[in-house]
Amino acid sequence: MRKDSSAFIPQERIVNTIVLIRGKKVMLDSDLAELYDVETKALNRAVKRNRERFPDDFMYQLTKEELENLRYQIGTSSMRSRSGTSSSGYGGRRYLPLVFTELGVAMLSSVLHSKRAIQVNIQIMRAFTRLRDLLATHKDLREKVEKLERKYAAHDEQFKVVFEAIRQLLTPPEEPPKRRIGFGVE
């Protein structure tokens, strides 16, 4: 445990842990565990005990290919476990990591009951909202990226990959359909 478990976490630190996988902004279980000041296996155990709260659009397990792509994007030095070791692939873990969408992170607050978990969840929700707002307000940036893409994408396959990643970052997430409240007539 850290000395001050109620310490404020800078929003930039949270935003830097949000990654784009399968076209969705997600956070790794190990990053969340570090923010919540718990072990990754404890966080995952709590999730498994409450699996019905985490449908596929809230949480999913990475494939080996996705983990390799993530390592390439982030760099292996930042893919270390909480103990600081990085042995067989992903911090010496036996299982592929879980990732949580914004909805999954919100659901974690009903599974983790510490004061720190509540405070961190509030900060994470604000970071997701800030990120979405930043991306939505930069329509001119999107147009400039599209112009650059038309100019350079034909020249090199690597540019296409970069532009696709930028396009995914600029696309706001789809809001899930809202469930109607009340009795319905069929």
pLDDT at 102 over 80: yes
Euclidean distance between CA atoms 165 and 186, whole angstroms: 43
Name the most confidently modeled range: 105-109, 141-145, 182-186.
Answer: 105-109
Widest CA span in the chain: 58
pLDDT band at 159; cut points 50, 70, 90: low
Contact at 8 Å (CB) between 105 and 121?
yes
Taken as a whole, the chain contains a residue count of: 186
Extended beta strands in 1-77, E state: 18-21, 24-28, 59-61
pLDDT value for 158 = 63
Contact at 8 Å (CB) between 134 and 141?
no
pLDDT at 181 over 80: no
Q: Worst-scoring range by mean pLDDT, 34-38, 70-74, 113-117?
A: 70-74
pLDDT at 6 over 70: no
Would you give the distance in Å from CA 104 to the centre of its chain? 9
Distance set, CA 158 to CA 53, 110, 146 (Å) = 39, 42, 16
Q: Worst-scoring range by mean pLDDT, 43-47, 57-61, 122-126, 162-166?
A: 162-166
pLDDT band at 15; cut points 50, 70, 90: confident
Which residues have C-beta within 8 Å of that of residue 60, sequence separation ≥ 6?
22, 98, 99
- 44 compared with 113, residue with greater pLDDT: 44
pLDDT band at 8; cut points 50, 70, 90: confident
Sequence spans of domains, the chain: 11-136, 139-170
Phi, psi for residue 61 in degrees, rounded to 5: -95, 140
Contact at 8 Å (CB) between 144 and 33?
no
pLDDT at 29 over 80: yes
Q: What's the mean per-residue pLDDT of the chain?
A: 77
pLDDT at 49 over 90: yes
Closest CA to 95 of 43, 134, 52, 145: 43
